[in-house]
Each structure stands twice: as C-alpha cells, then as structure tokens.
Chains A and B, each alone.
Chain A
Amino acid sequence: MLQFRTARRRWLAAIGLTGVAALALSACAQSERTDDSGSGKVGGTMVFGAAGEPKNFDPIFNDDGESFRPIRQMFDTLVTYKRGTADLAPGLAEKWTPSEDGTSWTFDLRKNVKFHDGTPFNAEAVCFNFDRWFNMKGAAAQSQMIYYGDVFEGFAKNEGDAAGDPVYKSCEAKDEHTAVLNLNKYKGAFPAAFGLTALSISSPEALTKYDADNVAQSGDSFTYPAYATEHPTGTGAFKLEKFDKANKTITLVRNDDYWGEKAKLDKLIFKIIPDENARKQELKAGTIDGYDFPSPADYNSLKSDGFNVTPRPAFNILYLGINGANNPALKDLRVRQAIAHAVNRDQLVKTKLPLGAEVATQFMPKTVAGYADDVQQYPHDVAKAKELLTQAGVSDLTLNFYVPTEVSRPYMPNPSEIAAVIADDLKAAGINAQIVSRPWNGGYKDDVQKLGKHDLHLLGWTGDYNDAGNFVGTFFGREKKEFGFADQGMFDAIAAADAVVDQDKHADAYKQVNRDIMSKYLPAIPVSHSPPAIVVSSKITGLVPSPLTDERFDTVSKG
C-alpha cells in the first residue's frame, strides 16, 4: 500500500491541491523505534530486488545464488565466513579441530541455540543432517545435491548415476555439544567447505515432519516436498513467513530467539524482478531498497542519483582458455606464452571491465590461501610475442576463438566486447583469431566443455569457498576437453597439494602449483578478477558485501 499512498501523495502534490493531505498520509507511515546502542535503527521492512525465483528453500538441494540468498538468512552453517571476507569464522561450531591425518573433525558446538520450531540445536542434530545427506535415497534427490556431491564425492548407496567412493564415513554425537565427523580420506576442501550454504543445518524434527527427502521425479523435472517449499527450518536470524508466488515475494521475519545479535529489521522481503532495467526503475521509484548485480553501465547514474553502489571484493576469475588438442601449434609452450604477451590485459581491464576490476596474474584471487606473489608475469609485449612465435617456428597462425553470446556473468559482463579487444591484440602480434559466436546455453558450453571444438575461448568461475582447489583444482586437476591438456605432472601436483592437511603447508604446495602453472604449463591465460556490485538506497546501512555473495541482512538497518 505504501506505493499507492506515495503515488497518490505525489499526485495530489503535483496538481497542487493541498500539502495537508500529503502530511496526513505521511503520518500513516510505519512507526519505527531506535535502539539505545545507536548502531542503527531497529524495526522496519527492507525490500530487496532479486533477479530470479529460488528453486526451493532446502539448502542441500540448491546450488544457485537466487535460492541461496533467502536460505542464508534462515540457516546457519557449522563454520561461516568473517563478514566481508572469505576467511573462516565460527558459525554453529565455536571451534573445529582436525585429527592429525585430517580424517576426523571435532566440532565444539554453540550452546543455547534453537531451531525456528523451538527444538534444540545439538550434536545429534548435526549428525542427523550429515547422516541424512549421506543416506539420501533416490536418483532424483541425489542428482540435485550438487555441492554435497562435489565435496563428499558419493553416497551410502549411489543411485542413478551418482558414482564415487564417499568421503563421509560417520558422525558421532560425543556429548550434547560435541560432534565428531569421520571421513574416509582427507580433502583440501575442508574445513572451508563446512561453510557452504548447501551444507546448512536443518531441524531434524522439521525434516521428518515435512517429508524432506521425498524429491519426486515428474517427467523430466522434479517436485519438492513441503519442507523445501513451505517449511524450511534453520537457526538463522530470519525465518520464513511466506512465499507469495502470485506476487513474487518472499517474506522473512526476524527470529526473536536468534542465538546471536538479533536482526534489526522486522521484515525482509525479496521481490522477484527478473528484468534488470525494471529493478533499476523500482529502486529509483523507491519501491525497493536495493538489488544485486547492477549493470556496470549504470554505476555512475546510480551513484549520481544518491544510491550506494558497493563493489564486492572480487572472488572470481576470467580466463582466455586455450585448447591444445586441435591445433598442433598450441601444444608448444612458447606459442601459448606468445598469446599471453600479445593480450593487453591492463588496457582490457580499464576499458571493458567494471570499476575495481584487476588484472589476474594466476587462476585464483589474492584472498585465497595459496596465491603466489612471485609467479611468472606476462606483460603486454608485442615484440616478445612475435619473437616467441618465430622461435616456435609458427607463422600465419589462425585460431578459432569461441565466444558466448546472450550471457553476462559477474566475471564477464560483455563477452563479445572483451573478445573483440583480445582478437585485435592477437592480430597485432600476427595471430589471426576468428571469432565464433555461440549462445551460452544454446551450444557454447557444449562446444567448449564437451566437444572441445575451439582453439581459444572465454570462460570464468566464481569461487564457492576459500580453497585453492576450488579454483585451480576445478580447472586443471584432470584432463578436460576444455583445455585439451594432459600433463600428468600437473594433475599429480594438484592432487598432492590438495592432500596436505597442515594449512600452511597446504597453501605452500598450492603456491608452487601456481608458479608451475604460469611458467611450465600455461594451459590458459588468466585475464581478470571483476568485483560484482550490490546497490542500496541511502536509507540502508549496515550491509556488508561479501566476496562470496554471502551477505547476511541481520546487520542491516533502514532509517
């Protein structure tokens, strides 16, 4: 109704009838209280524009940002991230300790924590969740547990085409507040992966009551049980009031029994507005208080209108991929190095990527443990590029450069423009890159990742958690059509680094991997890290942008 009132108010003012009516109506605005600490107003409703619908609210069955945004407000994980960083911080576990070989993790759990349904959070609840995931039945359900599958590699009984030896072994509730997780092998992803939103802890009672595991296949799609659609029950600072599908709004209310500092807002509403331009207009019209991923082209106009555009710390990578399988010339390291020298990445970042973007020197952002400051650099040097090509005995090199269309990713806002600049740079060094455009979902990913039809391509990745393996391991941990590169030495080095339990040594091992990738292998060329932004109105305070897009709205005030 606020909008109707606002609109009517301005209408009345506009035709100059009376200012009194306007005052009378504004007096109807919600009363707000201010807390004594002065750290931001308490109360009120924030409306945030979301770009898409959530798939459902059961954390374990999701892997996309639009589902995770509301889920993060309702659920907690054992380990979480320090606000505004990718560094680990206590979540539902105050402490986590690995055994010497990393196959057993002891969690000291927070006390006096309750789920939204009033049941206590304790070690049994933690084990109930881990056991639930491990024992999940049904090919339909298993196929939707993307992150679980990645981290834990298999189930008690792999169904459908889930395959692999499970990493999970067992979970024991040693006492009320101590849970011990036993694994079949150590993985470098731990402990960072315990902070994955997909591995949030649910109320065992609600899971049972609302039939949470009953994911059914319906034709070539899935339907989810009531737990996932109507009764998600976590320990988070907000709880679900309603998902109004007709009005496309998700309404969360403050959890007054929250274990931590209670949320300041009374209500947090996510309004689903798929069109980016419409989100911008709604913000300008005052019907929403913020939205995610504003287009870099709008940064300046939004700022000049008084909105706060905050770039997140970049946690992604854009790379120029090289497929060594199709063209014999690309098998030569010198040719790949020539390509690296030919591309003017400084200029590209300045002209085609959003404010705050940085040139990438390796395949992970600076904040990830394992980032090496002393990797081999490839500054823009056309003469050097030509010299390397001559040394390799390559002339008149023509390459198919696959470029996606109909897509904009946080690490790559405008692929066609980026590709055009790169192609020009390559031409200056005597390499003829012929651009082949393919729609992102309509063939690009198939052609590049499955069929390896390309010589060069543009792609990137946003990290899931703070671990080097999530970046370099994902790209170069095994042979892939995308890179057509098969050096067992590189694969082994990554596997060995991943297996190091000691965190410092783990990071050191990955530093060496990064040095080797950049000097000995160069299977692709890292281009840039781009900060995706979030925009809010000047009334909103206390929102801390997260590199992992892991924003929690409990610290937010609207004043």
Chain B
Amino acid sequence: MLRFIVRRLLQAIPTLLILSLLVFVWLRSLPGGPSGALLGDKATPEKIEALNKVLGLDQPIYIQYFKFLGRILSGDFGSSLISGEPVVAEISRALPATIELSLAALLFAVVLGIPLGYLAASNRGRFLDNSTVIGTLVGVAVPVFFLGILLKQLFAQDLALFPPSGRQDVTIDPTHVTNFAVLDGLLTQEWDAAADALWHLVLPAIALGTIPLAVIVRITRASVLDVLNEDFVRTANAKGLQATLIRRRHVLRNAMLPVSTTIGLQTGLLLGGAVLTERVFVWGGLGSLLAQGIERRDYPRLQALLLLAAVVYVLVNLLVDISYAIIDPRVRAS
C-alpha cells in the first residue's frame, strides 16, 4: 500500500510541473502584461518597457520560467500587484472565507435536502412530491449569480432583512484568530461579531447551496424510492415491523449510500460556484481574489491561485485513487 501511495505521489510531480509550465506560459502569452497592470492608467509604452526591465520581463520566457520555478520551490509566490502583499498571505487569509461559505452552503443543502427528498419519496405522486420535483428542476437550472442577485435585490435591498454584501458589518471590529468569522466570534466570545457574521452568511449560503440542495433532494428521493421497492422492505413490512423503525433502520440507512457520494461530488463543485457567489456578495474569499486578479491582470496572484487549484485537483484525485485501492486490492496490482 505504501509503495502504491509513494508511486502515485511521485507521478503527481511531473503533472504539477507541466501544469505550472502551462499556467506560466498561458499567463505570459496574454497581451498587456504585469507592468501595464502595475503602472495603471497613466502607463506609457516607455514606462512599461522600463518596468519590464526592472522586473526581468524582457528576458526569454524559459529563463523567466526557471526563475519562477526556483522561487516557488522556495515558497515565494511573489506579491500581489494590486495590494503589494505577499500572495501566500492573501490566499491564507481568503481561504477560510471560502471554506466557511462552502460549508454553510453544504450544511444548508444537506440539512434541508435529505428530509425534503425523503418526504417527497414517501408521498410519491402527491402534491408535495410533484411540487418538490418541479422545485428541484428550477433549483438546478438557475445560475448561481442570477439567484444571488435576485436574493440580494429582494431580501437585502427591498425588504432589508439581510445585509447585501460582505462578511461582517464595518462597525464591528472583530478579532481575527482563524479568519473563520463565525468561529472567531465564538472563540473570542464576541457574540455580536459571531451573530453578525452568521447573518451575513445567510444569503450567499442559500445562493451557493441551492444547486447542491436540488441535486441532493433528487438523489435522496430517487434512492429512497429504489429502496422502498426492495424485497427486504417488503419483507419487513410483511413481518409487521413498526413503520418508523423500517424507515429509519432499513430505508434511510440504505438510501444514504448514493446520497453521500453525491454530497462528496457536490463539495468539489461548490468551490467553483463559490467564485461566482463571492463576486456577487463581495465575499472576500478566493473567488474574489481570482475575479479581481483577472480584471486587474495580477499575474503573481493568478499564478498562485491556478497552481493551488491544480494541487488541490491532483491531491483529490490521489485520495480517490488511494481510497479505491484500499477498497479494491486489484487496483493496486494494476
């Protein structure tokens, strides 16, 4: 097993190297360049050229790449052209925001999705079931950003029930410990800050969680319906077991297998959706960093974020392969 893991880890190295090369060459091939971004509106061709020399951007691209590789191997991803802050610091501050939002969205989707799916299946063909099915179709089809804008318009602007954007009110001066705003409020016992952070989470979490919610409802419903038709349920019913016991012990437990797989898959997709949701709600997570980075051509930030995405992707794949190998020894042999 260890040999398998080591082999897979070694295989990941060339993959990451190729990805880093692609990211680097792709970004450098875009017209404009970081000097124009750094110098802003009043950049003249002469100033850009001069700055290119200072930054070493006039050197051949392979030299630039090897220098870049050398720097990232020593942990230096450079500083953001926008904020002048080291990119690693920016990312480590923004990551908890994205995780917090994704977790809240997932929680919303799971806590609401499983009971709804189960209820729909138990009431198959009735009004509750039909309306749930239609609702989930709409839920899957509505783009995240559109829903976000709609929620904001209605609940933040027109009804003023929730804040329109941001993670915390500006009049709050929270102590940052982990950069998870709700958790920090609880840890430092700043209850106002925690409640306010939670309040700010509601709309974006609903916007981001709606698609996973719809998917989970549908899968739960289908899976429960499948299990309800199984022989062992019929047998249990025939034996005269209590209905609640059958539901809890036999139906729900068996129906949860495909649901949990779906939840896993949706977790991966959430990060993609978070980019759009963060944009709409000015969330200050990785999505905001990425969006602003693209707009302002912040090369160091984009390089680091794309590489981070690549590393996460490779690692997730590695974990999946390892878990398969644990479950099925034949994978290891092949």
Binding site for B on A (CB under 8 A): 1-4, 6-8, 10-11, 14, 45, 47, 52-53, 55-56, 63-64, 139-140, 143, 146, 160-162, 217-224, 228-229, 242, 244-249, 251, 269, 271, 273-275, 277-278, 281-282, 284-287, 409, 439, 441-443, 445-446, 449-450, 462, 481
Contact = CB atoms under 8 A, between A and B. Distances in A.
B300 interface: yes
A446 B32 contact: yes
A228 B34 CA distance: 21
B78 A221 contact: yes
A285 B164 contact: yes
Given A247-B167, A284-B157, A7 B199 contact: yes
A139 B50 CA distance: 10
A287 B166 CA distance: 10
A53 B174 CA distance: 20
Contact of A274 (B55, B79, B288): B288
Nearest to A270: B170
Most chain A CB inside 10 Å of its own CB: which residue of B79, B93, B174, B296: B79
A6 B76 contact: no
A222 B44 CA distance: 20
A222 B84 contact: yes
Given A1-B193, A4-B195, A245-B93, 19 more contacts: A2-B169, A14-B159, A14-B161, A55-B84, A64-B41, A139-B54, A143-B50, A218-B86, A219-B68, A219-B300, A220-B300, A221-B299, A248-B166, A248-B282, A273-B165, A277-B149, A281-B156, A442-B30, A450-B48
Nearest to B30: A442
A249 B170 contact: yes
A274 B199 contact: no
A449 B164 contact: no
B226 interface: no
Contacts of B296: 52
Given A4-B196, A220-B55, A246-B179, A481 B45 contact: yes
Contacts of A222: 79, 84
Contacts of B173: 242, 244, 251
A219 B76 contact: yes
Interface in B89-118: 90, 93, 97
A221 to B, nearest CB: 4
B47 interface: yes
B85 A223 contact: yes
A1 B157 contact: no
A275 B279 contact: yes
Interface of B: 30-32, 34, 36-45, 47-51, 53-57, 67-68, 71, 76-86, 90, 93, 97, 149, 152-153, 156-157, 159-174, 176, 179, 181, 192-193, 195-196, 199, 279-282, 284, 288, 291-292, 295-297, 299-300
Contacts, number: 202
Contacts of B172: 1
A3 B163 contact: yes
Contacts of B300: 219-221
A247 B170 contact: yes
B83 A53 contact: yes
Given A3-B196, A247-B166, A219 B78 contact: yes
A219 B84 contact: no
A247 B173 CA distance: 9
A246 B165 contact: no
Interchain residue pairs A-B with the least CB separation, the first 5 = A219-B78, A161-B50, A450-B45, A443-B31, A221-B79
Contacts of A251: 170, 173
Contact of B81 (A221, A249, A439): A221
A45 B47 CA distance: 40
A226 to B, nearest CB: 12
B82 A55 contact: yes
Contacts of B71: 219
Contacts of A443: 31-32
Given A7-B161, A55-B84, A161-B54, A218 B169 contact: no
Nearest to B172: A1
A63 B32 contact: no
